[in-house]
Structure 1
């Protein structure tokens, strides 16, 4: 059998050691990072990879797309697909900053808690996501909208940038996501006032909502936080919380390590699928969500 080779492309100065470790531990024989890769260079790199091996070896060859921007990663994934010359193809997996799999895990764990503890689902729920300019929030918002929730992304620097991101989501995926202002205490309180679900996907070590702000959200069913670095993004949500009673109400808390466990299994599992497949595959955060839902149970 031919050796399994993973080419890891990043537009940044460095490839994430986290992702390199994940790929190696999943079982790839050869893992090669490429940095400072531009969108225009993707076609040439992909075609170098496919034409240097027999068509049947495409299933043993992969391209991983890293970085820190959702839109660029999706554009690079699309460029890679367009570079194929059938029967010369290979496996593709986009997960910039590990955030596609994190966003997928976040929504999968929330969906499970809704089903198991509240007997409901995401349809019709108002989901407010802080860290709205980041990739995790991007994925979570699109996935929630695809599940027919009312998704809202709140921006720490106001509404302008998140409004542009919401417009991009509409163009790419045909979903409606509402922008909100999260630039001040008062603005954040207004953003979550009618929320059923509040998700914190902001920077590590930054408190976004304190306990009194969360207590004021009368319809709150779930508060989930992807931040494992103190202080918590949502005060009172412990990193180990696994759909536990929260704030003396019907609300449930989901912590970063609970989400992270599903994220880890999802990224590792998608790498293994690339190694086990009989035909080339392509993964973005929607594929990660389907996998994460199975992991979450």
Structure 2
């Protein structure tokens, strides 16, 4: 009789995301066990408890998921988990804090497809303005877009200090060249939109970040993508189901939250299944999410 597939799910937060628990079980895990309030220092011991309680064959049916709310923290936990492995006692690990890696990967992949389909171009040298820039989805999408050749700008809403700090952290960690800007006022947001080839809106649910009037002067704008599914939309004129639909009053097309969410859902499911089916341990982060999301969006 085959051993059950067990996923140990760790988070530094008070609760593990029910969304991720459901996704893991629906993808094929038999059991998903949450561990909350986990620190980076806790990860080493948790991993070794997981690997040494099963045979090397059993570890193939064991995995670890890393949640939370911060991209860098989740990646640090993944690094700590990797260092705890003692081959052949080794398990697969997947980091997706707040669903940000798979959501960001889906948003960038959908935008890239729209660029190809509607404008016969790609991300190379495109100026990507990312609103909601201090959030984890915005952070991840800016890094992903930059790694694929774009020039991304993270836009904060509470002054330049916090978004500047996050930008410098991303540049140091991933060897990219993100820029940052303050979008605290409507005038600042309008000015940033005018510079954009692509806009990503990754702000809080139910918060309008950009109006159509702010988009209309953006003469170079090709794609505007919005991950907010709660009314009002993050970008006025972009509906939740839009997937390359022209935005009235502009030359751009819009991609809405449900179109992005469809690719995100398939990406997260696909990465869980990749863990389940792997003969050798895999370590999955936003780079793996983007590679899969591009295939799913095409």
Q: TM over 0.5: same fold?
A: yes
Q: Distance in 1 between matches of 2:185 and 2:39?
A: 36
- Residue 108 of structure 1 pairs with residue 109 of structure 2: yes
Q: Extract structure 1 runs of 4+ deviating beyond 4 A.
A: none
Deviations 1:106-161 (A, max 9, x none): 00000011011110000010000011011111111111111111100000112111
Q: Distance in 2 between matches of 1:181 and 1:218?
A: 21
- Residue 42 of structure 1 pairs with residue 28 of structure 2: no
Q: Distance in 2 between matches of 1:142 and 1:199?
A: 12
* Gapped regions of structure 2 (runs ≥ 5): none
* CA RMSD, 1 decimal: 0.8
- Residue 250 of structure 1 pairs with residue 251 of structure 2: yes
**How far is 1:59 from its partner?**
1.8
**How far is 1:277 from its partner?**
1.1
**How far is 1:242 from its partner?**
0.7
TM-score, normalised on structure 2?
A: 0.98
Q: Which moved more, 1:101-110 or 1:268-277?
A: 268-277
Q: Is residue 198–residue 223 contact of structure 2 (8 Å, CA) maintained in 1? A: yes
Q: Distance in 1 between matches of 2:194 and 2:245?
A: 22
The equivalent residue for 1:13 is 14
The equivalent residue for 1:291 is 292
The equivalent residue for 2:169 is 168
- Residue 59 of structure 1 pairs with residue 60 of structure 2: yes
TM-score, normalised on structure 1?
A: 0.98
- Residue 200 of structure 1 pairs with residue 201 of structure 2: yes
The equivalent residue for 2:178 is 177
- Residue 188 of structure 1 pairs with residue 189 of structure 2: yes
Q: Distance in 2 between matches of 1:139 and 1:72?
A: 13
Deviations 1:241-282 (A, max 9, x none): 011111233200100000000000000111111111111111
* Gapped regions of structure 1 (runs ≥ 5): none
Counting matched residue pairs gives 297
Q: Distance in 1 between matches of 2:72 and 2:246?
A: 36
